[in-house]
Structures are given as C-alpha cells and as structure tokens.
Amino acid sequence: MGKAAKRSYTGTPSTNKQVDAAKHLGSVFKFNTDLGQHILKNPLVAQGIVDKAQLRPSDTVLEVGPGTGNLTVRILEQVRKAYAVEMDPRMAAELTKRVRGTDGERKLEILLGDFIKTDLPYFDVCISNTPYQISSPLVFKLINQPRPPRVAVLMFQREFAMRLVARPGDALYCRLSANVQMWANVVHIMKVSKNNFRPPPQVESSVVRLEIKNPRPPIEFNEWDGLLRIVFVRKNKTIAAGFKSSSVIDILEKNYKTFLAMNDEMVDDTKGSMTQTVKSKIETVLQETGLGEKRAGKCDQTDFLKLLYAFHQVGIHFS
C-alpha cells in the first residue's frame, strides 16, 4: 500500500472531490497545525487505511480527528455506526455538511471536544489520522478502555510509529515500545508520504495496526509502567544505575511503608533504617535476577517481568 500511495491518481469524480474539497477548505479557513490538522487528501491512502481495519457490517467505529471526512465517508459505507471525535467546531461543521442527505448521515455521531477528556462510548474498531500531540495519550487510552476495541488502525508521525514496533536492541526501542507491546500486538502496515496531506506536515507518517491482547496480561498497568519509567531513564546505562537516584529510593521507600501497613507488618521508623532496608532489597533483587548490569535497551518483556516479580516478592512496588 505504501508504494501505491505514491502513484499519480486520476480516480472517479467522487474520489477526485476529496482532493478538491481539501483545496477548497484550505482556501476557506486556515488549518490549525497546532491541533495537528493535516488533512489526508490521497484517496488511495484513505481507502487503504480503512481496508486494513477489516471492518464488519455490524461494527461500531470510533474515528479520532476526522477532519473533513475523507476517512469517515469510507467508514460509513461499511459499518452500522460511527462516532467521530473532533476538537475543531469548523471541521465538525464541514463533516456534518459532507454527510448531509447521504445514507451515512444517520450512522454518524460527532463528539465535539478533546479526545483525551471525552468519555467514549463502546466501539469495536478505532481508526485515526492522529493529531501528533496526542499520539501517546491516544494509544494508552485505547489500551486502558474497560472494553478495548478489537483492532485499531492508527496513523502517526513516522518516528513515533517505529518506536511502537521497535524490538530490543533497535535504536528506537524505548519505554514506549516495551510498555505498549506488553498490552498489544503492533505491526507497521503502511508508509505515508507527507505530500499526501494538506497542508504537508514537516515529517513523514506511518500507519500501524494495533490489536489489544485479550485477555489482558495479569499484571497491574501502573506497576509495569512504574518499573519501566525507572529502568528506561537512561536506556543505555545499566538497570542498576536507574535505582541509585534518591528520588527513586524515596518513592520506593514510601511504597514499601504502604505495603507493610496494608499487611499489618511493623514499620521501623528509626532514622535511616527504612531507607537502608529498601536499598538492600533493591541490591538483592538486581543481583539475584542477574539484571542489574544489563541495559534496558537490550531487555525484553521476559526480563522486565522477571524483575517485576522479584521486586514484588520482597515487597517493593512501583505504584
């Protein structure tokens, strides 16, 4: 699909309207690039994104950042219901006008507001030409939905997308990679040139397909995220180095006191004794797991799970 997107496109009158609409809209009002408004104008790319979602007639779809509706109209052709979350009232008005009088009008409900702050209805599939500034919050909001979608097909800035799919040892492998890959299977499916947008963004884009694991891994999200925050502070330093920070020790000591209190165990408040106890436990775990001298950028899920389990065994928690 990536190569197809680069071909010249003559298309049918209806699909040519998509490009013309983007040009017309750009002359009517100025796109707000601070909101990540870069309208996808290439019909082949738009159709390719929708096709990758493998929609079903019974599906309810959530679209984030519909803009003028170039993805929306294709979604509406294939599903029972679609919600479109749009922050810009001008874009919402354009989308409303575009579907008025069509079969898709009764299927579409526009939710005007900030996606991150919006209470979402149930949906089977998410499709998004993602505003760049909400890329990470969007992914984690989808992952943490009480009833997560079956699949999400999401367009991001190229580097962010490649971080999502990076593997241990890759230059772009980071906390985001390790965190998201615990909860979801992510694959890169399409490159999208910046020339396919109006106005063109400064960087290239990519589309990923994200399938949230069901059932969820039996660990607490905040515990997993808390551990990764520490070990990836400097991913090319040793894991042990991340635990030497006084701020990290303070947090883990506080959590350890809470753990003792919840388990009706005595808390020794002697000055400095609790700090030394926590430091000793950390050192023991790092030695016994053999992970203290490893680097987070080279470790995989099994390594991090081993570390998390070992810390929990001695009462050290991360949230």
Q: What is the pLDDT of residues 261-319, one digit of tens each?
A: 998 887 766 767 899 999 999 999 999 999 999 999 999 999 999 999 999 999 999 99
Q: What percent of the chain has pLDDT over 70?
A: 87
Banded model confidence at residue 235, pLDDT cuts 50, 70, 90: confident
Banded model confidence at residue 27, pLDDT cuts 50, 70, 90: very low
List the structure tokens of 179: 């965190």
Q: Is the pTM of this model over 0.75?
A: yes
In this predicted model, what pLDDT tens digit does every residue of 146-174 receive, in sequence order? 999 999 999 999 999 999 999 999 999 99
pLDDT surpassing 50 at residue 48: yes
Banded model confidence at residue 26, pLDDT cuts 50, 70, 90: very low
pLDDT surpassing 60 at residue 22: no
Predicted pLDDT at 10 = 32
Q: Which residue ranges make up the annotated binding site?
A: 38, 40, 65, 86, 114, 129
All domains in the chain, ordered by first residue:
32-212 (3.40.50.150), 221-314 (1.10.8.480)
Q: What percent of the chain has pLDDT over 90?
A: 82
Q: What's the mean per-residue pLDDT of the chain?
A: 90
Q: Which residue ranges make up the annotated binding site for S-adenosyl-L-methionine?
A: 38, 40, 65, 86, 114, 129
Banded model confidence at residue 28, pLDDT cuts 50, 70, 90: low
